[in-house]
A and B are shown apart, each in its own frame.
Chain A
Amino acid sequence: MGAFFALGIFQGAVYGLLAVGIVLVYKAKRVFNFAQGEFGGVAAFAAFYLVVNLGLPYWTGILGGLAAAVAMGLAVERVIVRPLESASRTIMLVALVGVALFTIAIIVLLGQPVPRVMPPLVEGSGVNILGAGILPQQLILLAVLAVLAAAMAWFFKTDLGLAVLASSQDTRAAQVVGISPVAISRLVWGMAALLGGIAGLLYAPVGIFTPGFMTLTMLVPAFAAAVLGGMTSLPGAFVGGIAIGVVQNLGIYLLGQQLKVPGAAELGVFALLMLVLLIRPQGLLGKEA
């Protein structure tokens, strides 16, 4: 049981990292970014291509992966988000779902749907935490999550961050500050893609990865984490991510292993999501707005 707890914390770190990007986009644009996971997918596959297929050094893989993610983020902003600015939120969400499926399809077309193994950032055997073997890669992931969540929370206290927030209330308010809404939109999507890319790069080496690995298994828990944290709170995304990871793994332990319920991990996440939305819709750390 302790091992499941520890596994949950580290599994939760990747949810938290995705949730930070989701919260960023929601705070700035009031949009649910269903393409957040695929920023990571693109980064992971680009890095794999550079490092494994071409045999280039690891740092080029990281840079190339992040560049690919940011390029995708800016492309999504230009091609999808901006033209649909005036469409309903639901249409925007459907389009972003489309972006995620589209990206997965492209990756499959170019790279075949075979499992891949990405070498880790740091070699070495795992450390034992509460009876669970935790890879160095996962320790890095948790640390990076903490740093990035804090950095994003700080960002929203800077003048630029406040301008981004103001633009979510009223596009003209940001213009008064002297920043064009288009620049803010680019900035937000570029940053979100960067965060997604980091998540993908750090998580891909933890196990084997296949096309769509970030969207198909990570996205819903990551959204649950963001909602649990209150959707606009960055510390909330951090705490929410870890909490979802723990609940998921305790679900696997209690429901799956003890009671033999199929799909225990998903059931745990769904139950927690419903509980939060029905009882405390503003989330654990969320304030109104």
Chain B
Amino acid sequence: MKQLLKVDGLHLRFGGLQVLNDLSLTVREGQIVGLIGPNGAGKTSCFNCLTGIYQPQGGRVYFDGRDVSHLPTHRRARRGMARTWQNLGVIDSLTVTENVMLAQHQRAGYSALAGMLGLAGTWHRERELRRDAAEIIEYFGLDGVADERAGELPYGVRKTCDMAMALATDPRLLMLDEPASGLSPEEALGLSTTLRELRDRLRLTILMIEHHVPLVAEVCDYVYVLNFGELLTEGEPEAIQRHPEVIAAYLGGTAESPAEPEAADDDTVQFASEPPEWPLMAEGKSNGTA
């Protein structure tokens, strides 16, 4: 199978903190690959490097055989890299339908200026986009809340909306940041059916960060284990589960650990997204004081 994503020797530092150290991984087309590791291992930072939100100090990212290391985030997205967010990538002030239509941005088929001038074709395209959005919304069972503002919906529904948005970008690679967090164990296992279906029906490739071990074991073709920014090991899920170092570092005690903090949503400077040793700060940030 063809390599869709290849990451070569990523180095990421925030001040004195080495967040990623010589991280390399490969995702082949049609695979579902897991990225696991304890909190603060650098998993979300890795996603941020892949999507271009962070500029790593070293290393390359190849997507579909081409070096995308220097492309801005939106250009990578246009090539087919989509992601979901641990803190959810939905825009609270828009409705679910508007959020999905927002995600269809790159395939709207008309320029922003044409839309603003109200040129003939744009009205038609808007209707088509709305119809497509309705289809996606229906697939995810969100039709009941399609016209509700996303910010007023419960967490689980917004999480589904986030996934629907990632799909609406028409991606080739779907990067999921803890898709099972906040779901009940049964829902988490149900997710494996959805993920397989997405891969098989839409020919998607999936890279996911996940803590929920049964889901990883159930659905992933291949697993990378991260610890302190370095690759601890990699392999088939069965082998990983028996790996002594993995058990020591990760499966040992923290399977039920809380979500790792996202980077501050500050509008000026972004600091380290995962400061493991400052629980007080992490609390403050989740409180929205940043």
A and B touch in the complex (CB under 8 A): yes
Identify the A interface with B (CB < 8 A): 169-173, 288
What B residues does A169 contact at CB under 8 A?
281, 284, 289
What B residues does A172 contact at CB under 8 A?
284
Cα–Cα, bound, A172→B281 (Å): 11
What B residues does A288 contact at CB under 8 A?
269
Does B269 contact A170, Cβ atoms closer than 8 Å? no
| Cβ 8 A contact of A171, one of B269, B280, B289 | B289
Chain B residues 251 to 290 lying within 8 A of chain A, measured CB to CB, are 269, 280-281, 283-284, 287, 289
Cα–Cα, bound, A172→B287 (Å): 10
What A residues does B283 contact at CB under 8 A?
170
Cα–Cα, bound, A45→B57 (Å): 57
Question: Can you pick out 14 interface pairs between chain A and chain B where the beta carbons lie within 8 Å of each other?
Answer: A169-B281, A169-B284, A169-B289, A170-B280, A170-B281, A170-B283, A170-B284, A170-B287, A170-B289, A171-B289, A172-B284, A173-B280, A173-B284, A288-B269
The A/B interface has a contact count, at CB < 8 Å, of: 14
| B289, chain A: closest CB distance, angstroms | 6
What A residues does B269 contact at CB under 8 A?
288
Q: A88's closest neighbor in chain B, by CB?
A: B267
Q: B15's closest neighbor in chain A, by CB?
A: A288
Cα–Cα, bound, A141→B281 (Å): 40
Q: A171's closest neighbor in chain B, by CB?
A: B289
Cα–Cα, bound, A171→B284 (Å): 9
Cα–Cα, bound, A173→B289 (Å): 12
What B residues does A173 contact at CB under 8 A?
280, 284
Name 11 extra pairs, CB < 8 A, besides A169-B281, A170-B283, A170-B284. Answer: A169-B284, A169-B289, A170-B280, A170-B281, A170-B287, A170-B289, A171-B289, A172-B284, A173-B280, A173-B284, A288-B269
| A142, chain B: closest CB distance, angstroms | 33
Cα–Cα, bound, A122→B228 (Å): 66
Q: B288's closest neighbor in chain A, by CB?
A: A86
| A82, chain B: closest CB distance, angstroms | 16
Q: B267's closest neighbor in chain A, by CB?
A: A89
What A residues does B280 contact at CB under 8 A?
170, 173
Q: A168's closest neighbor in chain B, by CB?
A: B289
| B87, chain A: closest CB distance, angstroms | 18
The CB with the most chain A CB atoms within 10 A, among B281, B283, B287, B289, is that of B289
What A residues does B281 contact at CB under 8 A?
169-170
| B248, chain A: closest CB distance, angstroms | 34
| A10, chain B: closest CB distance, angstroms | 34
| B132, chain A: closest CB distance, angstroms | 34
Task: List the 6 shortest-distance A-B pairs measured between CB atoms, nearest first.
Answer: A170-B284, A170-B289, A169-B284, A170-B280, A173-B280, A171-B289
What B residues does A170 contact at CB under 8 A?
280-281, 283-284, 287, 289
